[in-house]
Structure 1
Amino acid sequence: MKTSRLPGLTVLCMALQLAACASSPEIARTAAASAAEPATVRSNRAWLSQLPFGDRQDYEDARRGLIADLEQPQIRTADGRVVWDRQAYGFESGAAPDTVNPSLWRQAQLNNVSGLFKVTERIYQLRGLDLANMTIVEGDTGIIIIDPLLSAETAAAGLALYYRHRPRKPVSAVVYTHSHVDHFGGVKGIIREEDAASGRVQVIAPEGFMEEAVSENVLAGNAMSRRAQYMYGALLPKSAAGQVDAGLGKGLSRGTVTLIAPNALIRKPIETRRVDGVDIEFQLTPGTEAPAEMNLYFPQMRTLCIAENAVRTQHNLLTLRGAKVRDAKQWSFYLDQTLARYGEKSDVLLGQHHWPTWGQQRLSRLLADQRDMYAYLNDQTLRLVNQGYTPMDIAERLKRLPEPLASQWYARDYYGSISHNVRAVYQRYLGFYDGNPASLNPLPPVEAARKTIAWMGGAGAVLAKAQESFAQGDYRWVAQIVNQLVFAEPENQEARQLQAAALEQLGYQSENSTWRNAYLSGAQELRQGVAANLGGGTASPDLIKALTVPMFFDYLAVRLNADRAAGKSMTINWAFPDLDERYAMTLNNSALTYRAGAEHARPIATLTLGKPVLDSILTGKVKMSDAISQGQLQVTGDRQSVAALFGMLDTFSPGFNIVTPLTRR
């Protein structure tokens, strides 16, 4: 019988982790990078007069309270594989090279400050050991850890660094501020699952955490994972011509992603608890940076933890890897609520990315400015929407935030950008259609490209004109038009090289780290092709355990190949005695549906198994045929029909083309 195995990281390990795994040394390739063109040099140098580079406050804040850095710059797995390398960014010193936007170079240098820091009495942070920060609050008998990073190895290394300089108290509580994997994946590097199960360690999270932590990337996980490789520059070398930063931090660790379910949920909008002698006021902020998120206020220390709701950059309303659009209006609302409730009562603002802000006036201004930034993006986009402007029209008109907000470093486009955020607002309210009937049913990319190139006089004519535009520094237009030529003639090496050169210059000029990474990743794949091994392989067992049976069924439905299922009909019952759950599954009209708590009166087959058996099948520890022969999975009825159903499922490849046409199968 065909094994039903969800392919690797596509379902469970989140797009962030696949991008991290794909950047391992054995996969990363050396890009054949070019120098910055004169137009790029001029563009980058012009930035030096556009922003207040003389302001060194962030450099002081980023280093304030530094106790020590890692003694060994590399963090490794038990078998010696490098999961984090502090040496990789050693080139980021001095003035910005011509191949990096000076504003982004500044952010990269600040994100490169790492180690153990004292924030205020009883509060410490580990920064620069992963994409996010790990915050440690010293309780009466133990320590409270907020957000244990992405990987167990980096979390363990961070805790070890803390213990080398502070008393070795046990972990008394873990807090997940929100449902993104870089804020919980390292939890088993600091506590064991039995610590939470026994209640010895409180694991506190906002209501809805588990559902959101597991579900965000299930149904479109393969596409998100592939796009995340571009967004984070996973396959780029770390160099002045490659990946220099990720905006929120240096990049992604490449270790073991874990998850321990919370044993204490915050359900009320404002909820106060005493945790190991520390008073914490939790403020739920659902639907902001994450669907399930909360801020923490420490009245004894007059300190506010803002989670990821305010960072040292403009954040994403729609992440480039793909996700549901975030609500800028809701985000702005909660920032204002936070400012009103805690602004005058706080002396320190710390987040789970970047460095803290000290002083009531400074932190209040940061919160107010970020509140205004998201309100501006939302409201001004809708103003222009109601005047009839289309997404790209709006992106061109709203190129810059109003002053003095535009000159605030924490409002710059290092991670999100004005350009793609305003288009996200448009999408949230109006969807993909811009209202022009010509946009309703355009030709698909390859056919449109072939017709466009033919109308322009053929490949030779287009290349000649595009090369002239490239020489004039018009890289944006070159990238747009030569993309058409590459899709019309994907084997045209001259077109591929010119397209790569244009994307590369756009990357060199970009202030936004994720745009830079995407441009340079596209250039690399145009020159070298898609890497044969894009990482992945095995899913995180902890995330698999957290996958519900309905999530599994939903993903089976997404994998169903409608052509192979055409004209076929079947009914299958599923029973999970250990969960006391049963499901009636139906295949009809090339759609796979199910009902919970129901069963078909006369099914073709019935499958009975425990959830751990399903987990073992999904991780590849056991084949479905072996589970049947060993009695772990019992099938009554027509086994061949069950085999036929799983034979109708597609297996998604993590290496589909992006900057060249898809290979049709």
Structure 2
Amino acid sequence: MTLNRRDTIGLLASASIAPMVAPIAQAQTSTQAGTGTVGSASPKPPTEFTKAANKRMLDMLPFNDRTDFEDAQRGFIANVPGNVLKDAQGKVALDLAKLQVPADAPAPDTMNPSLWRISQLNSFAGLFKVVDRLYQVRNLDIANFTIVEGETGLIVIDPTISTIAAKAALDLYFAHRPRKPVTAVIYTHSHLDHFGGVAAVTTAEDVAAGRTKIIAPTGFLEEAVSENVYAGNAMLRRVMYMAGAPLGRGTGAAQTLGTGLGTESTDTPPTLIPPTDLITETGQKMTIDGLEFEFLMAPGSEAPAEMHFYAPALKALCTAENACHTLHNFYTLRGAKTRDSAKWVKYLNQTLEMWGGQAEVLYAPHHWPMWGNAAIRQHIENYRDAFKFIHDRSLHLANAGYTLPEIGELVQYPPELERNWATRGYYGTVSHDARAVYNFYLGYFSENPAELAPLPPVQAAPRYVELMGGADAIVAAAQKAYDTGDYRWAAQLLQHVVYAQPDHQAARYLQADAFEQLGYQAEAATWRNIYFVGAQELRQGLPKVTPDLAASPDLVRHLPLEMAFDSLAIQVDSEKAAGKTITINFEVDDTDKAYALVLRNRVLNYSGKPAASPDLTITGSNAAIVAALLGGKPEEVMANGTLKAEGRTAALGELVGVTAVPEFWFPIVTRPAWKA
């Protein structure tokens, strides 16, 4: 079942990044109005200011410490043949060589040396032995593919986002280790890059027959299919920026090497097999294929459903995505609910209390492992302390009256944490994490009355332009800022012109130049991507192609009907719904639930109690009803026999007809046309 954009509703974006969006062909640069010739229509090299900023990073951080390089290569066995991933037809689906960075090469002027370093470490790809009975296939995908050898078969932990990568990982393992069946799969948490490849390692039939267990934290299934449902169109559009989707892959000036977590993924629909066994409480133990595991629940940390676990026989600890080799996001820049960093700190403390004195190896679904109890304890303690510092310092400043943007500037690591590689800001950053803490506790409003009802930017921008002497005067001032290396101010000034006069070519090009220099300097891969994609759109305009946004049938069939109702309600166009009243009952035969869905007063509500006199009653499976509501072609679903209808069948089409699917390629660096 191929579904249109309304079905994506974040299903592709539910991972920590959106790995499934291939690089997008861009439109040709259009002829644009505007005065002046300031700025460049094509990428510019780093300026002396940018080179100096990156040189300061080299001087500040301990680049002579090569421990991580030793750990990232430890236990290497082999890489995939040809350094490529191929699909079922033998076609190259991912060229890993484009994503690899020579381990001994100095950073180019076009990349922050610290970001270059993590990219080097993420280049070590292939099969690795971690300890006896524990293996990882790393950097064939965004997430690692981990294998624990049980008594009779294999326990796979987080089978990546892609079936192509998962199959390649398992094939690589079997090329060097005995071929055994997969007896269990463990999902560490509910993000897409940690379960999407499951169909390559087991089947629904083997799971149903009891030959394979699927183990996950409680709440996994609901969170896996529902995260980002309601703001999915906006979120996936924003993912194009954060993940650098339109950028070329590689080490070039305007290219991306991912988001700091690992490599990118192949463009294949994710799969999902629901859990058979749930972990419900901290301290729970489970014997899986003869090997005992102990669990710690960590909901509401990096994911809504997440857990840590320890295998005493291996002295091996997995902290899921809660203590890897980058500062993580309290707020992810693609857009999502702000995460509770205080809970995150609590779970890391519990991890130390439960297993900190025992673990001899620490592994995770991103990056490389660590060995030795002292090193593991120090790593988790430093990670915890970095999170605690950002949390506490942000609230300390908030309580002193500082506001969200000020806190993002003022919170900076102390020297004790600044040189810790594992909490450098490759994915999250201190700046946007600190702002997230403020937002989590206090929201966006500073209490200043001037900010209570400000003019929207698209209305305010022309007034700023007029006040500052016109667009050309602002561009001239921005050029002076650019020429002195003040790229942040240049970009901020030019935003007024680009918002007020989106066809002003000189302003667009100069803002693109400023973004580009900021991208060259960015330590965070996510910030680099956002700057470069913004620059690309300013120079070339929006893409003129439609991205492939087909969602996975495995995910859609598990979308709870209540969430489908909510998603449809968000899509109601209030003008189309004027004067309409429609009531439809739904009887769900695979859940034995019944609902009434009512359109009235231009809003859509549902109830768990059927209406007495509906226009239509529909009976069928959850998946079929979701397809009828969100698939864009309700008449076809009604006609294919998967649903039974009693009453005025046209009512379903009328209901779906009052919805509107938003345009995917809405502008970001410019603004949509203002609607009063």
- TM-score by length of structure 2 reads 0.94
Q: Which residue of 2 aligns with 1:495?
A: 507
Q: CA deviation at 1:16?
A: 4.5
Change in 2 beyond 3 A, CA 1:433/1:252? farther
Aligned counterpart for 2:183 among listed residues 172, 180, 184: 172
Q: CA deviation at 1:648?
A: 0.8
Letter in 2 for 1:427: N
- Secondary structure of the residue aligned to 1:137 is strand
Q: Which residue of 2 aligns with 1:101?
A: 112
Letter in 2 for 1:506: L
- Tell me if structure 1 keeps the 8 A contact 2:62–2:419: yes
- Secondary structure of the residue aligned to 1:415 is coil
Distance 1:5 1:41 in 2: 45
Are positions 1:367 and 2:380 aligned together? yes
Distance 2:435 2:492 in 1: 18
Are positions 1:221 and 2:220 aligned together? no
- Tell me if structure 1 keeps the 8 A contact 2:342–2:388: yes
Q: Which residue of 1 aligns with 2:81?
A: 71
Aligned counterpart for 1:594 among listed residues 606, 614, 630: 606
Q: CA deviation at 1:32?
A: 3.7
Q: How does 1:420-569 map to 2 (within 5 A)?
A: 420-569=432-581
Letter in 2 for 1:336: N
Q: CA deviation at 1:586?
A: 1.5
- Tell me if structure 1 keeps the 8 A contact 2:185–2:215: yes
Q: What is the number of equivalent residue pairs in this alignment?
A: 660
Are positions 1:232 and 2:231 aligned together? no
Are positions 1:572 and 2:571 aligned together? no
Aligned counterpart for 1:261 among listed residues 269, 274, 278: 274
Q: CA deviation at 1:7?
A: 2.7
Distance 1:619 1:561 in 2: 15
Change in 2 beyond 3 A, CA 1:615/1:557? closer
Q: CA deviation at 1:663?
A: 4.3
Q: Which residue of 2 aligns with 1:128?
A: 139
Q: Which residue of 2 aligns with 1:22?
A: 21
Q: Which residue of 1 aligns with 2:660?
A: 650
Are positions 1:10 and 2:22 aligned together? no
- Tell me if structure 2 keeps the 8 A contact 1:538–1:619: no
- Tell me if structure 2 keeps the 8 A contact 1:304–1:346: yes
Change in 2 beyond 3 A, CA 1:419/1:630? closer
- Secondary structure of the residue aligned to 1:72 is helix
Aligned counterpart for 1:408 among listed residues 420, 427, 452: 420
- Tell me if structure 2 keeps the 8 A contact 1:16–1:225: no
Distance 2:83 2:330 in 1: 34
Q: CA deviation at 1:331?
A: 0.3
- Secondary structure of the residue aligned to 1:443 is coil
Letter in 2 for 1:205: A
Q: CA deviation at 1:191?
A: 0.7
**Which range moved further: 655-664 or 636-645?**
636-645
Are positions 1:38 and 2:55 aligned together? no
Distance 1:36 1:570 in 2: 60
Letter in 1 for 2:336: A
**Which range moved further: 629-638 or 570-579?**
629-638
- Tell me if structure 2 keeps the 8 A contact 1:541–1:619: no
Aligned counterpart for 1:636 among listed residues 632, 646, 649: 646
- Tell me if structure 1 keeps the 8 A contact 2:199–2:271: yes
Letter in 1 for 2:88: A
- Tell me if structure 2 keeps the 8 A contact 1:522–1:659: yes
Q: Which residue of 1 aligns with 2:406?
A: 393
Change in 2 beyond 3 A, CA 1:4/1:180? closer
Q: CA deviation at 1:661?
A: 1.2
- Tell me if structure 2 keeps the 8 A contact 1:206–1:266: yes
Are positions 1:301 and 2:314 aligned together? yes
Q: Which residue of 1 aligns with 2:392?
A: 379
Letter in 1 for 2:175: R
Letter in 2 for 1:587: L
Letter in 2 for 1:202: K
Q: Which residue of 2 aligns with 1:113?
A: 124
Two-structure CA RMSD over aligned residues (Å): 2.1
- Tell me if structure 2 keeps the 8 A contact 1:576–1:611: yes
Distance 2:409 2:282 in 1: 39
Q: Note the alpha carbon deviations across 1:126-178, whole angstroms, 9 max, x for none.
A: 10111111110011110100000010110000000000001111111100000
Q: CA deviation at 1:368?
A: 0.6
Structure 1 vs Structure 2: percent identity of aligned residues?
A: 45
- Tell me if structure 2 keeps the 8 A contact 1:315–1:415: yes
Q: CA deviation at 1:237?
A: 0.9
Q: Note the alpha carbon deviations across 1:615-658, whole angstroms, 9 max, x for none.
A: 554785x9422333344333333334432221110112321111
Distance 1:166 1:28 in 2: 48
Distance 1:358 1:510 in 2: 30
Q: CA deviation at 1:322?
A: 0.8
Aligned counterpart for 2:618 among listed residues 607, 613, 616: 607
Q: CA deviation at 1:10?
A: 3.1
- Tell me if structure 2 keeps the 8 A contact 1:84–1:130: no
Distance 1:532 1:57 in 2: 46
Q: Note the alpha carbon deviations across 1:248-277, whole angstroms, 9 max, x for none.
A: 112333223100001000112111111111
Q: CA deviation at 1:387?
A: 0.6
- Tell me if structure 2 keeps the 8 A contact 1:295–1:306: yes
Change in 2 beyond 3 A, CA 1:141/1:296? same
Letter in 2 for 1:317: F
Distance 2:553 2:641 in 1: 22
Distance 1:607 1:525 in 2: 45
Change in 2 beyond 3 A, CA 1:419/1:461? same
Letter in 1 for 2:58: L
Distance 2:20 2:218 in 1: 29
Letter in 1 for 2:465: I
**Which range moved further: 575-584 or 179-188?**
575-584
Letter in 1 for 2:418: A
Q: Note the alpha carbon deviations across 1:395-429, whole angstroms, 9 max, x for none.
A: 2211x211221101001011100110011011100
Q: CA deviation at 1:17?
A: 9.5
Q: Which residue of 1 aligns with 2:36?
A: none
Q: CA deviation at 1:550?
A: 0.8
Change in 2 beyond 3 A, CA 1:188/1:14? same
Q: Which residue of 2 aligns with 1:292?
A: 305
Change in 2 beyond 3 A, CA 1:463/1:29? closer
Change in 2 beyond 3 A, CA 1:42/1:86? same
Distance 1:628 1:128 in 2: 44
Q: Which residue of 1 aligns with 2:634?
A: 624
- Tell me if structure 2 keeps the 8 A contact 1:153–1:186: yes
**Which range moved further: 583-592 or 630-639?**
630-639
- Secondary structure of the residue aligned to 2:152 is coil
Are positions 1:204 and 2:215 aligned together? yes
Q: Note the alpha carbon deviations across 1:285-333, whole angstroms, 9 max, x for none.
A: 1111111111110101111111111010100000000111111111001
Letter in 1 for 2:45: A
- Tell me if structure 1 keeps the 8 A contact 2:595–2:610: yes
- Tell me if structure 2 keeps the 8 A contact 1:17–1:257: no
- Secondary structure of the residue aligned to 1:173 is strand
Distance 1:364 1:313 in 2: 16
Q: Which residue of 2 aligns with 1:86?
A: 96
- Secondary structure of the residue aligned to 2:357 is helix
Change in 2 beyond 3 A, CA 1:113/1:594? same
Change in 2 beyond 3 A, CA 1:4/1:195? closer
Distance 2:23 2:203 in 1: 27
**Which range moved further: 567-576 or 307-316?**
567-576
- Tell me if structure 1 keeps the 8 A contact 2:11–2:225: yes
Q: Which runs of 5+ in 2 are unaligned?
A: 30-40
Distance 1:441 1:579 in 2: 46
Are positions 1:56 and 2:69 aligned together? no
- Tell me if structure 1 keeps the 8 A contact 2:153–2:182: yes
